[in-house]
Amino acid sequence: MKIFKMESSKHVILCTIFLSALTLFSCSTEEPSRPNILFIAADDLNTDIGCYGNNQVKTPNLDRLAKMGVRFDNAYAQQALCGPSRASIMSGLRPNTTGFVRLNDNLRKLKPDIITLGQFFQNKGYYSGRVGKIYHYGNPSEIGTDGHDDPLTWQERYNPVGIDKIHEDSIIRFPGGKTGIKGNLGISMSYWDPISDDSDHTDGMVTDRAIEMMKRNKEKPFFIAAGFFNPHCPYVAPKKYFDLYPLEEITMPDLDEAKRDLEDVPAMAVQRDTKNYPYYFDGITVDEARKCKQAYYASVSFVDAQVGKLLDALEENKLLENTIVMFWSDHGYFLGEKGLWYKRKNFERSVRVPLIIAGHGVSERNKIVNQPVELVDLYPTLVDLSGNQVPKELDGKSLLPFLKNLDYNWDKPAISQVHHATNAQGYTIRTKRWRYTEWNGGEAGYELYDHENDPDEIVNLANNPAYVSIEKKLRAELRPYTKYD
């Protein structure tokens, strides 16, 4: 073998440049670091939180997360019911696409070959783990079980059980207090405020396990889903969170005045509630409803504290910069507005949800998007934000452009639906200004609200001659999403 000696400094310089270029080329062809994903869910959480403008509700950690990224001011669930909403999020498909429209439908039976969000990232080499409620669970009846989970979505699942489940007999139920109604706590007005630590409760255990999952898997890309059961009823949280809300500062709308908001809506719009005023159960007093609202707010602050612990863990483990953090709720919630309680409505209060995205790939900071977006958009957003190709069969659209540039031109409306039965359905479309709703294709009535002038949806403009052209336009936009047979 011949060895050639570089005689001149010119040759040395050229060789150095060549080797440097070769090194640079080799580095540029390496696969980029794959971002982690922390997927945080709350149950039945409306937008009564600080960063959404409710100054009474104390949520410093969600406010902190919003300052780190982008808050979507008009994000909407596809169905204001846990099972269908969560299946839609995890599949990236609308309820009518999957056929999952009832609470206890089974996504895998309806779509055996579906690639869920967790499966997608498993296929990309991610660890996929869940703790708590992501798919539907009976709450609190199925706490500690896999509920209606999809096992193929995850490599690891954990179902903690806290004192909120273990000591259900301590929960005060209205009407009647400790000797009150028995039955399904998951559709009740009830609370408990034990002197306890966060980690004594199921949601505190969710946080602890999610942090352990992060630490254990921080050397590889992870998709970790932390699903909190609060603030779903029964409203149970440590007493220190109740103490944030003196009962005398909790106000309730006047019931008679609130109910007048519904005088001009179709009967089907409130068909599950009209026999149960006030506030869903007969016999509930205003003071008892006020106590439940206090408990709901306490549960929200409890969830907020858990979010803070998760963010702290990301920072302490130097994971925040390379982790996408997404916080969402499955649907909104009534707390006496319009004389209603709970969900399962096509009103703004029921279908609007908090949605915050921060962390890796989010260029914007402390910014707000006002265009309507949907929870069905979460799947394609995470895929896009992680540098992968969005599957063409998904019904949603990636929100990544908003995370880079708030002035992105977006003209997609938000579609939600209620499915009481095949012959009792309602669909609603939300644009930046308008909400249009129809029941049984219009045979059971219409609704039209101008959110520019009527954000609380008090005046139904449907069939008003001055708005016929707007109603016609929105009806045509909604039609491709409806299915009545």
Please indicate, yes or no, whether residues 229 and 343 belong to a single structural domain of this protein: yes
Structural Rg of the chain based on CA atoms: 25
Does 2 have pLDDT greater than 50?
A: no
What is the per-residue pLDDT across 81-116, written as a single tens digit (0 to 9) for each? 999 999 999 999 999 999 999 999 999 999 999 999
In Å, how far are 69, 306, 310, 401, 403 from 363, measured between CA atoms?
A: 8, 25, 21, 10, 6
CB 323 within 8 A of CB 37: yes
Does 399 have pLDDT greater than 80?
A: yes
Does 6 have pLDDT greater than 50?
A: no
pLDDT value of position 29: 36
Burial class (CB in 10 A: 0-12, 13-18, 19+), 113: exposed
Which one of 388, 415, 442 terminates a domain? 415
User: Is 29 part of any domain?
Assistant: no
What is the per-residue pLDDT across 192-226, written as a single tens digit (0 to 9) for each? 999 999 999 999 999 999 999 999 999 999 999 99
Handedness of CA 400, 402, 408, 414 (dihedral sign): positive
**Could you give the CA distance from residue 86 to residue 100 in angstroms, rounded to a whole number?**
10
Does 13 have pLDDT greater than 60?
A: no
Please indicate, yes or no, whether residues 348 and 439 belong to a single structural domain of this protein: no
More confident residue, 329 or 407: 329
Active site residue 51: no
What is the per-residue pLDDT across 154-186, written as a single tens digit (0 to 9) for each? 999 999 999 999 999 999 999 876 655 566 899
User: Is 2 part of any domain?
Assistant: no
Please indicate, yes or no, whether residues 260 and 137 belong to a single structural domain of this protein: yes
Does 18 have pLDDT greater than 60?
A: no
**Which range marks the domain in which residue 148 is found?**
36-415
Q: For the residues 120-144, what does the mean pLDDT come to?
A: 96
> pLDDT grade, residue 294 (50/70/90)?
very high
Handedness of CA 298, 303, 308, 313 (dihedral sign): positive
- What element of type H or E holds 292? helix 286-316
Which one of 393, 415, 437 terminates a domain? 415
User: Is 7 part of any domain?
Assistant: no
User: Is 19 part of any domain?
Assistant: no
Q: For the residues 31-47, what does the mean pLDDT come to?
A: 90
Given the residues 11, 51, 136, 201, the one annotated as active site? 136
Please indicate, yes or no, whether residues 300 and 408 belong to a single structural domain of this protein: yes
Please indicate, yes or no, whether residues 365 and 440 belong to a single structural domain of this protein: no
Does 251 have pLDDT greater than 80?
A: yes
- Residue 78 has what DSSP assignment? S
Which one of 384, 415, 446 terminates a domain? 415
Q: For the residues 321-349, what does the mean pLDDT come to?
A: 97
User: Is 365 part of any domain?
Assistant: yes
CA atoms within 13 A on the CB side of 231: 31
First to last CA, the chain: 82
Please indicate, yes or no, whether residues 411 and 424 belong to a single structural domain of this protein: no
Packing angle, helices 82-91 and 378-385, rounded to 10? 30
User: Is 265 part of any domain?
Assistant: yes
pLDDT value of position 31: 45
pLDDT value of position 181: 52
> pLDDT grade, residue 33 (50/70/90)?
low
- What element of type H or E holds 27? helix 9-28
Residue 55 CB coordination number (10 Å): 6
Q: Which of 175-189, 395-409, 471-485 has the lowest mean pLDDT?
A: 175-189
- The β-bridge partners of 39 are 225, 326
| Number of structural domains found in the chain | 2
Please indicate, yes or no, whether residues 334 and 290 belong to a single structural domain of this protein: yes
Active site residue 82: yes
Q: For the residues 335-355, what does the mean pLDDT come to?
A: 97
Please indicate, yes or no, whether residues 174 and 73 belong to a single structural domain of this protein: yes
pLDDT value of position 182: 61
At 436, which CATH number? 3.30.1120.10
Rounded to the nearest 5°, which phi and psi values hold at 474? -70, -35
Give percent of the chain above pLDDT 90: 86
Please indicate, yes or no, whether residues 64 and 140 belong to a single structural domain of this protein: yes
pLDDT value of position 277: 79
pLDDT value of position 274: 82
What single-letter amino acid sits at 16?
A: T
At 201, which CATH number? 3.40.720.10
Please indicate, yes or no, whether residues 443 and 306 belong to a single structural domain of this protein: no
Please indicate, yes or no, whether residues 200 and 317 belong to a single structural domain of this protein: yes
- The β-bridge partners of 327 are 40, 356
pLDDT value of position 485: 73
Residue 372: is the preceding peptide bond cis (ω within 30°)?
Answer: no
> pLDDT grade, residue 7 (50/70/90)?
very low
User: Is 4 part of any domain?
Assistant: no
Does 271 have pLDDT greater than 60?
A: yes
Given the residues 51, 82, 233, 292, the one annotated as active site? 82
Q: Is the whole model's pTM more than 0.85, yes or no?
A: yes
Please indicate, yes or no, whether residues 292 and 375 belong to a single structural domain of this protein: yes
User: Is 83 part of any domain?
Assistant: yes
